[in-house]
């Protein structure tokens, strides 16, 4: 696969739903990819990336932004509270707001800086014990609490259970977002982004299908 091939599949998936192709943002997930692959995608003109690790992003993106200009980088990995300050300086959006202690920390940082990245609340749609995220039944209250702290919650994010059909999870996330008046839906990865688009995804997070398989060192 390649960037062009994924963009073309995105366009086809949107057309099948009568959606404008611009209504879905393609986040190229560049975590642990060799730098030359990331530069290649930047040279093709792509400007929206996703990272999972604060330190890796910090080592990579200040330089690449200096070289390529306005690039948006979204945090899509678990965020430790003690890295929140660095994260709000580095990222344009954080997709993994998954607990109250992090919301409180981000609210404090937003006050001090008079700015905040856009936020997505991560929902544990499969109620998996080992997975981060707010449980579906707790999400309305959590979103309300974030709003009461003036946090810019743009939408919801989920990572469906690996062994299951993703569609019911995407559907559930879309329902929770709709009843909370949230327009952003961060869902869909290399293996299921077309299904996510069919269920209303506004941000798809695609890594290996663009860059090739990740090799963890």
Ligand X SMILES: *Cc1c(COP(=O)(O)O)cnc(C)c1O
- How far is residue 174 CA from its own chain's centroid? 15
Q: Which stretch binds ligand X (CB under 6 A): 12-20, 35-43, 58-66, 202-210?
A: 202-210
Residue 190 in contact with ligand X, rule: CB under 6 A: yes
Closest residue to ligand X using C-beta atoms: 207
The secondary structure of the chain, three-state, reads CCHHHHHHHHHHHHHHCCCCHHHCEEEEECCCCCHHHHHHHHHCCCCEEEECCHHHHHHHHHHHHHHHCCCEEEECCCCCHHHHHHHHHHCCEEEEECCHHHHHHHHHHHHHHCCCCEEEEEECCCCCCCCCCECHHHHHHHHHHHHHCCCCEEEEECCCCCCCCCHHHHHHHHHHHHHCCCCEEECCCCCCHHHHHHCCCCEEEECHHHHCCCCCC
Q: What string marks each residue from 45 to 64 as x (binds ligand X by CB under 6 A) or -? A: -------x------------
Contact predicate 79/113, CB 8 Å:
no
Q: Which stretch binds ligand X (CB under 6 A): 83-91, 124-132, 175-183, 200-208?
A: 200-208
Residue 116 in contact with ligand X, rule: CB under 6 A: no
Residue 2 in contact with ligand X, rule: CB under 6 A: no
Residue 134 in contact with ligand X, rule: CB under 6 A: no
Residue 199 in contact with ligand X, rule: CB under 6 A: no
Footprint of ligand X on residues 15-44 (CB under 6 A)? 29, 31
Member of 151, 159, 174, 187 binding ligand X (CB under 6 A): 159
By CB under 6 A, the count of residues binding ligand X is 13
Member of 24, 26, 76, 121 binding ligand X (CB under 6 A): 76
Residue 196 in contact with ligand X, rule: CB under 6 A: no
Whose Cβ is closer to ligand X: residue 179's or residue 214's?
Answer: 214
What is the binding site for ligand X (CB under 6 A)? 29, 31, 52, 76-77, 159, 189-190, 205-209
């Amino acid at each position: 696969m390649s960037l062009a091939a994924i963009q073309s599949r995105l366009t086809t998936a949107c057309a099948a739903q009568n959606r404008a192709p611009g209504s879905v943002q393609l986040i190229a997930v560049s975590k642990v990819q060799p730098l030359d692959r990331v530069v290649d995608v930047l040279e093709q003109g792509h400007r929206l990336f996703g990272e999972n690790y604060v330190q890796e992003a910090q080592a990579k993106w200040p330089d690449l932004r200096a070289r390529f200009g306005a690039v948006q980088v979204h945090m899509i990995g678990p965020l430790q509270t003690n890295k929140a300050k660095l994260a709000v300086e580095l990222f344009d959006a954080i997709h993994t707001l998954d607990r109250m202690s992090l919301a409180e920390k981000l609210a404090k940082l937003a006050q001090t800086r008079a700015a905040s990245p856009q936020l997505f609340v991560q929902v544990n749609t499969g109620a998996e014990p080992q997975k981060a995220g707010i449980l579906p039944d707790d999400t309305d209250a959590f979103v309300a609490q974030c709003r009461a702290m003036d946090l810019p919650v743009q939408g919801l994010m989920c990572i469906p259970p690996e062994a299951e059909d993703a569609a019911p999870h995407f559907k559930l996330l879309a329902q929770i977002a709709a009843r909370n008046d949230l327009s952003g839906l961060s869902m869909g990865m290399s293996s299921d982004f077309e299904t996510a688009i069919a269920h209303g995804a506004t941000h798809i997070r695609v890594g290996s299908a663009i860059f090739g398989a990740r090799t963890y060192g």
